[in-house]
Structures are given as C-alpha cells and as structure tokens.
Amino acid sequence: MPAHLSIKEIADSQAQLRRKKLVLFAFTLPLLLFVMLAFVAPIATMLYRSVYHPTVAQLIPQTLKQMQGWETQSNTLPDNDSLVTFALELKSLAAERRSGKLAEEINRVFPGASSLIKSTARKLKRLDEQEIISSQGTILLDSHKKWHNPALWRAIASAGEVWTSRYYLTALDLQLSPEGDIESRDTRIYLKLYWKSLRIALLITLLTAVLAFPLSYFLANASSAKANTLLVFVLLPFWTSLLVRTTSWIALLQTNGVVNSTLKVLGIIDQPLELLYTEFATVISMTHILLPFMVLPLYSVMKNIDPSYFRAALSLGAKPLPAFAKIYFPMTLPGLSAGALLVFIISIGYYITPALVGGTDGQMISNIIAFHMQSSNNWELAAALGSLLLVLILALYWLYDRMVGVNNIKLG
Amino acid sequence: MAFPSYYSPLQKLGSLMLSASAYLVLAFLILPILVVIPLSFNAEPFFSFTPGMLALEPDAYSLKWYQQIIEDDKWLLAIKNSFIIGFFATLIATTLGTLAAIGLSNPNMPAQRWIMAVLLSPMIVPLIITAAGMFFFYTQFNLAGSYLGVIIAHAALGTPFVIITVNAALAGFDYSLVHASLGLGAKPGYTFFKVIMPLIRPGVISGALFAFVTSFDEVVVVLFLAGPEQRTIPRQMFSGLREQINPTILAVATLLVIVSALLLLTLEYLRARSVRIRLGTQ
C-alpha cells in the first residue's frame, strides 16, 4: 500500500472490495442454488443410496432386533425366539402381500432364497399366530431343510444391515466370505465391463485423434473461405441430434443396409456381414458422433500455430518428417489433449448409442447401470456402479481442469 | 491442384494424400447423416434402398412416412412436448446462466474456479448417473413423471453451455462502461439492459440455442424421469428404434437434420455479429 493512504482510506477500499465481491457472488447465487438442488443433490442422493439400504430393516425389524444376540460366526442357528419372530413377521408380510419384496432382497445376498421364502410365506399365511408361537420355530424348520442352514440366517442378518458396503463389493466383483473376509467372486462381471468400457473409450479416442489430425491440419492450412465452407461438414453433424446419427448407423449397418448392399454390388462379399448389434457398431458410430469434439479443439489450436517455425526448420536443413515430429506436433498437443480428454470423458459414460446398436457385445458400463435401474430393480447396485463411474469421471475432469482449464472450454 | 514450384515430387504426393484423407474424413462425417434423407422417402417399410429407388422410379418414392407423423397422436404429442419442455428449460437456464456468468467473468469473483467447476459439472457427469440420481431425488418430491421435473432437469443440463458462451462474450468486456453508466446516475437494472445486454446479446442467444438443443436432444433423463405424458421426440425415436423399426423415424430424422441446419445458420450469423460488435467497441 502506498504510504500516503490513511488507515481509514485503506479500510474503506477494503470494505468496498468486499461489497463488490458480495454483489458478484449475489449474481452467481441463484444459479448456484439451482444447480445444487436440481443436480448436485440428486447425485448426492445416489451416493447415499449406494450405502444406505433400510428396506429389509423396515420389513422385518423385530427379527433383526432378536437376532442381535446371535453369534453370526458360530455355526448354529439363531435362537427359537428369533425363529418365531421371523415366522410371525413373514406371516404378516404375506398377508400384506409384501413377502415377495423380502424374498427378492434376501435372494440378492443368498441366491435361491427367493422361492424358499415365497413358499414358506404361503404356508405360514394359512396358520394362525398361536400355532406358530407354540411350535417354537419348528414349523419354519420343518417347512424346508434350507432353514437349517446357518448361512441363510447370516444372509438375512447381513441383508438387514442399514448401512452396507455390500453393493460396492458386488460392483467390484467381491463378496464377503462366511468368515467375514473379503474375497473375489468366481464370475467377474462388473470389473470386466469397466475394463471393456475403458478399452472402448480409449479406442474411440485414438480413432477420433487419427481421423481428426489430417482433417484439422488441412482445414487450418486452407484458405479461410474454403475452411469455413468445409467446417460446415464438421458442424452439421455436431448439431444434429444424437438419435438421428444413431438411426443413420442402424440404416447403414443392418443386414440389408447400405454398407452390406454396396459391398455385395461391388462383389466383395457374397453373404451380408453381421455388423449391427456388435462392438464394432458401437465403436464406429460413437467415433462418428464424437469426431467433431476432437476436430474443433485441434483445428482452433492448429490455426494459431505460426507456420514459419516449421518452414524455418525445413530451411535450416531438417528433413520434413523429423521436423514435423519435433517442431509442429508438440505445438498441437494442447488441442490434442483437450480433444482426447473430452472424447474420453464423454465416451466412457455413453449410454444411448451402445444400447441401440451394441447388441450384447457392445454394451458399456452405463448400460448395466440402466439395466439395474429399469429391469432388475437393484437400485442400490446401480447406485454403487454409478458412484464408481462418477469417481473415474471426476478424476478425469480434475485432470482436464489441470491441463486445459474448465474456463477455456469453447463451443462452436 | 496447384503446388508451389519448389515442391519436390514427394512433397506433392504428401500434399495430395493429405487432402485426400481430409476429404475422406469429411465424407465419413457427413454421408451417414445425408443417407437418412433419401431413405425417408422410401415407399417400402424398410431402412434400406430398394431396387426401384436406385433405378429412380417415381413409384418407389413416397411421402407416406411424413403423413404418418402428422396422423399419429403419439408423434404430435412428442413434438409438442419437446418444444414446451425445451422452451421453459431454455428460459430458466438462460436467465440464471447469464446472471451467473456476469458474476463469474469478473476477476474479483471469490472462489471463481471452484464455483465454475461445480456449475459446469452437469456437462461432464455421464447422463446415466445424472438420470439415476434425479430419479431417486425427484421422486421424493413427486417431480418424477411431471413436466416440471423434466423442465428443471433439462434446465440444469443446459446451464453450463449458457455460462460458457456468455463468458466468452464477456471476455474483454470493458467494465468502465458499467462504472460510467452507474456514475452518470443510471439504475443497476437500466445499466444491465441498456449497457451490458446489448454487448453480450449474441453470446446469450447462442447460449440459449445450446440450452435448447441440449433439452431437445436429451433422452436419458427423459427415459428415467418422464411419464408417458411427457414423451419427447428423442424418447419416441428411442423406443421406436428399440421396438419396431419403422421409416417414420427416418422422416422425423430428416426433419431434425433440417432443424439443425437452420440452427447452424443462425449460430453462424450470430458469430459474425458478435465479431462485428466486438470490433465496434474496441
């Protein structure tokens, strides 16, 4: 601070700056609140859903309370009181037609439990409460031999936990062993799918980079009238609906589609190739859809590269290829990395195109999340899978911010 | 093609190969989109060219798939819904986004980087995650299966684009104009509409277009959040492509290609105008 300012003047200017900051913040506040409520809160809810699962605890609260005294590691059954309470609760659930929900929940932890619980519930429904109480749990044990299995009861206790890491374990193809240790599952589904999504995303990123590089170079070095005309061919796909572009690829790749007919007419093939509903279909249509995201940043960087560096290298005696690799290429890296990260981030979580053209082969992690949301109704597992994907994306977003800066994102 | 006289044969070959590969990539970009246009006039219910179409027989072409759009209540409802939802989502996103961008573009903005990262995140998070989260959260407030729910969701998805475009329009904005206006006694509201707004209008409009297209094109959130009453065009296309593939979808696709071409023209015009405005003020 210059010496000729008085203390009061300094304090005033500081107060003024604070006021200014407050006004600026007030401009941003409505949107910040809106995004927090409409977007961030839903994401937080999903994270919460992946670890918080009170359904079973709400269905059989008394049983779970009774079973607290039971030594889960011992190879015995819970005490008779627990068995009776469970039978009573199952009976009342059956009367309210909610036993199916319990069966589904336990079945997730103990495969095969679904039909057992359903049939037992049907049996219990016909009995009256006194009969169940006086039987001391034998009604339950006699109804099926599986009720003698301590593992089933451990599964019920485990399904009853309100806070659980179970869905994350499942999402990582792990499970809890009867002894309570974490062990890997025999069949790997989700890790394989994560790897596959990463592999497809990487392949698409590479393909877009290889296709975008010569095109961007050509556009950047063409006259501006020509470049502007040709850019329309990049921007029109960019602005065209995703569903339209996916539809086009279905029309192109199907058994009697344009690609197969053309190849047949040209005499290259006799039988139509199976192109649609494959991983190939997912890769080629997503490459097409995401190519503009690579071309546009690469083009804008290449346009600002001064050609005289390259010419200077040539006139100083460098061979064209080494000069290109050592002088020109490094200068394109900001555009290349921006485009590559953008394409990678978008493609890793893609849903619509794989769902429509991928068949069973070309599915990605998003598709299994949608499956658990819509078909198998295992929302907690969907939330856990989604949370893992989110962590991956946020790490990439952070990297993008470090390398490119989110403030530097430009459109069109 | 004309080459500079000092080019070696190898350089000529390289240059030829470069332009050839550039045109091939351009063809890869544009041909798949153009192919739906002739197919939508197919007289047969197929997604492929019939021999008659290739022989250019007039009978092989027909407008019946376009007629089906007009006659089908589902498509008409979807078109209406897409415009209603898109309009309100754009309105919310543009209003809030423009205000926020004015705050964010100022160098004195506190925690600028963090707030920016949060506000742009709807653009980065995969739609399937957003859709699942919104389904969990919005159901608690009875917003699932309602227009309001879809509008709010789409507005949130559109705001990052408004922030980016308005931010770009504000780059190099001369704040002394605001000080001058306020210093001469203009009220803040008057200053906003008469001084700031005219200078950033192209940015605001192109942000609004981006927000509209985001909503108009969005299908994952609609899949999870909308009921049958709120079906939009892309939602209708999605189920059409999954259930029975029908050339009506190709007709709709052709109409959408025309819409995006018009949009592109509008944006190009706005960009040129924005350049003119900026050159005029500097």
Let me know whether A198 and A141 are in one domain: no
Q: Is residue A182 part of a domain?
A: no
Asked if A211 and A321 sit in the same domain, the reply is: yes
B132 closest CB neighbour out of A44, A386, A401: A386
Q: Does residue B105 sit in the same domain as residue B225?
A: yes
User: Could you tell me if residue B263 is inside a domain?
Assistant: no
Residue A410: band (very low, low, confident or very high) from pLDDT cuts 50, 70, 90? low
H or E element: which one contains A174? strand A174-176
Res B280: pLDDT: 64
Same domain (yes/no): B42, B115: no
Position B281 pLDDT exceeds 60: no
Torsion angle (degrees, nearest 10) of CA B97, B99, B100, B102: 120
- Collapsing DSSP to helix, strand or coil, A163 comes out as strand
- Domain presence at residue A124: yes
Inter-CA distances, A345 with A182, A303, A322, A363, A388, Å: 31, 25, 32, 17, 14
Contact, A308 vs A375, CB < 8 A? no
Q: What is the pLDDT of residue B108?
A: 85
Q: Do residues B31 and B145 share a domain?
A: no
Q: Mark whether B188 and B223 lie in a shared domain.
A: yes
Of A339, A388, A367, A303, the residue nearest A210 (C-alpha): A339
- Whether the pLDDT of residue A2 is over 80: the answer is no
**Of the candidates A342, A241, A213, A336, the residue with the CA atom closest to the CA atom of residue A290:** A342
What average pLDDT does the segment A387-398 reach?
92
CB neighbour class for A28 (10 Å; exposed up to 12, middle 13-18, buried from 19): buried
My answer on whether A210 and A101 are in the same domain is no
Per the CB < 8 Å rule, is A244 touching B33?
A: yes
Q: Is A189 helix (H, G, I), strand (E, B) or coil?
A: coil
Q: Return the CA Rg of chain A.
A: 31
**Residues B158-208: tens digit of each pLDDT:** 999 999 999 988 887 888 898 899 999 999 889 989 999 988 888 899 899
Q: Based on the structure, what is the number of domains in chain A?
A: 2
The residue count of chain A comes to 412
**For residue B272, is it within any domain?**
no
CA of A239 vs chain B CAs: smallest distance (Å)? 6
Q: Is residue B282 part of a domain?
A: no
Q: Examine the domain organization and report whether B231 and B106 are in the same domain.
A: yes
Closest of B210, B263, B216 to residue B98, by C-alpha? B210
B98 with B16, same domain? no
Nearest chain B CA: its distance from A62 CA (Å): 27
Task: Give pLDDT tens digits for B97-126.
Answer: 999 999 998 888 888 889 999 999 999 999
Q: Based on the structure, what is the number of domains in chain B? A: 2
Task: Please indicate, yes or no, if residue B252 is contained in any of the structural domains.
Answer: no
pLDDT at B82 over 60: yes
Q: Which of B21, B40, B60 is the last residue of a domain?
A: B60
- What pLDDT, in 10s, does the model give residues B20-70? 999 999 999 999 999 999 999 988 888 888 888 888 888 889 898 999 999
> Tokens representing B156?
């949130």
Q: In Å, how far is A135's CA from the nearest CA of chain B?
A: 43
pLDDT on residue B104: 92
**This prediction's pTM:** 0.89
Using CA coordinates, name the residue in chain A closest to B209.
A239
Cβ distance A233 to B29 under 8 Å?
A: yes
Give the one of B22, B49, B241 whose C-beta lies nearest to A247's C-beta: B241
User: Could you tell me the residue range of the domain that residue B159 belongs to?
Assistant: 72-245
From A69's Cα to the closest Cα of chain B, the distance in A is 35
DSSP B146-213: SHHHHHHHHHHHHHHHHHHHHHHHHTT--THHHHHHHHTT--HHHHIIIIIHHHHHHHHHHHHHHHHH
| Mean pLDDT, residues B238-243 taken together | 89
CATH number of the domain to which A333 belongs: 1.10.3720.10
The yes-or-no verdict on residue A323 having pLDDT over 50 is: yes
User: Which chain A residue shows the shortest CA-CA distance from B222?
Assistant: A352
Given B34, B60, B86, which residue is the final one in a domain? B60
Structure confidence at residue B14 (pLDDT): 84
pLDDT in tens, A130-164: 888 888 778 888 888 888 888 888 888 888 888 98
The answer to whether A252 and A259 have CB atoms below 8 angstroms apart is yes
- Residues A61-85 pLDDT 10s: 999 988 888 877 777 888 888 888 9
Count of other CB atoms within 10 angstroms of residue A214: 18
Taking the CB of residue B189, how many other CB atoms lie within 10 A of it? 8
Whole-angstrom CA distances from A322 to A310, A313, A316, A318, A328 are 10, 9, 12, 7, 9
3-state secondary structure of A201: helix
d(CA A31, CA B96): 5
Pairwise pLDDT comparison (A35 vs A107), residue with the higher score: A35
Mean pLDDT score, A241-270: 90
Residues near A173 by beta carbon (within 8 Å), at least 6 away in sequence: A184, A185, A187, A188, A189, A190, A191, A192
Tell me, yes or no, whether A156 and A196 share the same domain. Answer: no
Backbone phi and psi for residue B195, each to the nearest 5 degrees, phi listed first? -110, -55
Last residue of a domain, one of A116, A143, A160: A160
Q: Are residues B33 and B110 in the same domain?
A: no
Report the residue from B96, B134, B264 with minimal CB separation from A239.
B264
> Are B33 and B121 within one domain?
no
Contact A397, B124 (CB under 8 A): yes
> Same domain, yes or no, for A135 and A205?
no
The answer on A345 and A238 residing in a single domain is yes
| CA–CA dist B8, B128 (Å, integer) | 53
Domain boundary among the residues A109, A141, A160 is at: A160
Which chain B residues touch A246 with a CB distance below 8 Å? 241
pLDDT at A252 over 90: yes
Q: What is the mean pLDDT of residues B208-223?
A: 94
**DSSP string for chain B:** ----TT--HHHHHHHHHHHHHHHHHHHHHHHHHHTHHHHTTBSSS-SS--HHHHTT-GGGB-SHHHHHHHH-HHHHHHHHHHHHHHHHHHHHHHHHHHHHHHHHTSTT-TTHHHHHHHHHHHHHS-HHHHHHHHHHHHHHTT-TTSHHHHHHHHHHHHHHHHHHHHHHHHTT--THHHHHHHHTT--HHHHIIIIIHHHHHHHHHHHHHHHHHHHHH--HHHHHH--GGG--HHHHHHHHHHS---THHHHHHHHHHHHHHHHHHHHHHHHHHHHHHHHHH-
Q: Band of the pLDDT at A320, cuts 50, 70, 90?
A: confident
> From A385, which residue of chain B is nearest by alpha-carbon distance?
B129
Q: Are residues B116 and B192 located together in one domain of the fold?
A: yes
Residues A118 and A203 both lie in one domain: no
Residue A176: inside a domain, yes or no? no
Write out the residue range of the structural domain in which residue A201 sits: 190-408
Q: Report pLDDT for B79.
A: 95
Specify whether A266 is located in the same domain as A364.
yes
**Residue B204 forms part of a structural domain:** yes
- Is A405 a residue whose pLDDT tops 80? no
Judgement on whether residues B22 and B83 belong to the same structural domain of the protein: no
CA distance A369 to chain B (A): 8
- Residue A294 in any domain: the answer is yes
Higher pLDDT, A3 or A6: A6
Summarised one tens digit per residue, pLDDT across range A258-272 is: 898 888 888 888 888
Residue B242: phi, psi to the nearest 5?
Answer: -85, -40
> A156 with A201, same domain?
no
Q: Which residues of A touch B170 (CB under 8 A)?
A: none
A268 and A385 in a common domain: yes
The answer to whether the CB atoms of A30 and B120 lie below 8 A apart is no
Question: Do B142 and B234 have their domain in common?
Answer: yes
Look at residue B45 in the predicted model and tell me its pLDDT.
Answer: 84
* Domain-embedded: residue A71: yes
**Do residue B33 and residue B102 come from a single domain?**
no
Domain termination site, one of A121, A144, A160: A160
> Is pLDDT larger for residue A297 or for residue A74?
A297
**pLDDT at residue A411 in the model:** 60
Q: Same domain, yes or no, for A104 and A248? A: no
Distance CA A366, CA A374 (A): 12
Q: Decide if B249 and A397 are in contact by the 8 Å CB cutoff.
A: no
In this structure, chain B runs to a length of: 282
Q: What is the pLDDT of residue B2?
A: 59
How would you label A44-53 residue by residue, b for 16+ Cβ within 10 Å and e otherwise?
Answer: ebbbebbbeb
pLDDT confidence tier of residue B282, bands split at 50, 70 and 90: very low
Note whether residue B266 is domain-resident.
no
Question: Is B117 in Cβ contact with A241 (below 8 Å)?
Answer: no
Domain-embedded: residue A218 = yes
**Across all residues in chain B, what is the average pLDDT?**
90
> Both A288 and A391 in a single domain?
yes
- Cβ separation of B264 and A406 shorter than 8 Å? no
Contact A356, B235 (CB under 8 A): no
Residues of A in contact with B92 (CB under 8 A): 34
Are the beta carbons of A291 and B152 separated by less than 8 Å?
no
| In-domain check, residue A168 | no
Measured N-to-C along each axis, helices A279-303 and A190-221 cross at an angle, to the nearest 10 degrees, of 40
Residue A390 lies in a domain: yes
